């Protein structure tokens, strides 16, 4: 796509759930600072692709590399690689027994061994950055869905990841709360974060994405800049998908 180095590389990635072939020979590169939006009908393998990227799912053949390091190698240090890959889930998955601040500071303390006071200070800064500076002591059950998801983003950022994966992060939100989460993601993109975003928010895709990747039935169908995709998809599948959206 550009002369910037590839940060994430997928090479002939195949994934099966039992007999079902859910990822078919996926080849894909995500550049540094790129916002790669992945779209497609449900069941097309978008989320699976993200989950394979930090090995929440194992692939059966092919390779996924982060900055040249094979993530999917059997002897890869998974815990170490995961620190470099942030992930935000559709269902937030905040730790309910910890405050917002506790959620954000837990992994830096536990994994990186950062002193507690320093980790908490950093967590406060991150929560302020996602607009939740006044909710640091709230428990997840006391926050709205949009606030919870922003805490989840701050939690992922606390590990200083090189790339962020967003798995349908606004799908479980009430419509009026979608905007605040997308806004945070927009800011992140502006700051140059490399992002892989699975979403159904076409407005966001058109506005923020550097590339649109269309998946269908486990295959990577089309990969184009958003202007081109939304105006004139190059493939029939792309046109079909767009026509269903309108």
- Residues within the interface to other proteins (CB under 8 A): 54, 56, 79-80, 82-83, 85-87, 89, 91, 93-97, 106-107, 110-111, 139, 141, 152, 155-156, 159
> Minimal CA–CA distance to 150: which of 122, 175, 179, 121?
179
Strand order in the sheet with 211-216: 85-88, 163-167, 194-198, 35-39, 211-216, 219-224
> Minimal CA–CA distance to 45: which of 86, 17, 10?
17
C-alpha torsion sign, points 43, 188, 99, 142: negative
Q: Which is nearer to other proteins, 54 or 224 (CB)?
A: 54
C-alpha torsion sign, points 126, 192, 206, 87: negative
Q: How far is the CB of 32 from other proteins (least distance, A)?
A: 21
Q: How far is the CB of 93 from other proteins (least distance, A)?
A: 4
Q: How far is the CB of 1 from other proteins (least distance, A)?
A: 27
Q: Which is nearer to other proteins, 94 or 173 (CB)?
A: 94
Q: How far is the CB of 88 from other proteins (least distance, A)?
A: 9
Q: How far is the CB of 239 from other proteins (least distance, A)?
A: 36
Q: Which is nearer to other proteins, 139 or 230 (CB)?
A: 139
End-to-end CA distance of the chain: 28
Provide the token pair at 230: 């939304």
Q: Which is nearer to other proteins, 93 or 144 (CB)?
A: 93
Q: Which is nearer to other proteins, 56 or 242 (CB)?
A: 56
């Amino acid at each position: 796509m550009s002369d910037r180095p590839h940060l994430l590389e997928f090479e002939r990635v195949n994934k099966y759930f039992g007999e079902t072939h859910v990822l078919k020979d996926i080849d894909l590169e995500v550049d540094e600072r790129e916002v790669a939006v992945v779209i497609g009908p449900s069941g097309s393998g978008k989320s699976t692709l993200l989950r394979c990227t930090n090995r929440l799912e194992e692939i059966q053949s092919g390779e996924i590399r982060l900055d040249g390091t094979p993530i999917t190698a059997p002897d890869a240090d998974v815990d170490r690689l995961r620190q470099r890959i942030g992930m935000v889930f559709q269902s937030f998955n905040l730790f309910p027994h910890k405050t917002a601040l506790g959620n954000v500071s837990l992994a830096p303390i536990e994994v990186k061994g950062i002193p507690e006071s320093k980790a908490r200070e950093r967590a406060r800064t991150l929560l302020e950055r996602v607009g939740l500076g006044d909710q640091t002591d709230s428990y997840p059950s006391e926050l709205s869905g949009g606030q919870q998801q922003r805490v989840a983003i701050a939690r992922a950022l606390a590990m200083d990841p090189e790339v962020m994966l967003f798995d349908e992060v606004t799908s479980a939100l009430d419509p009026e709360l979608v905007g605040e989460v997308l806004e945070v993601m927009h800011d992140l993109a502006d700051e140059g974060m490399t992002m892989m975003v699975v979403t159904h928010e076409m407005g966001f895709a058109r506005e923020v994405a550097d590339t649109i990747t269309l998946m269908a039935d486990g295959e990577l169908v089309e990969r184009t800049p958003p202007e081109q995709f939304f105006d004139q998809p190059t493939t029939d599948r792309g046109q079909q998908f767009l026509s269903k959206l309108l």
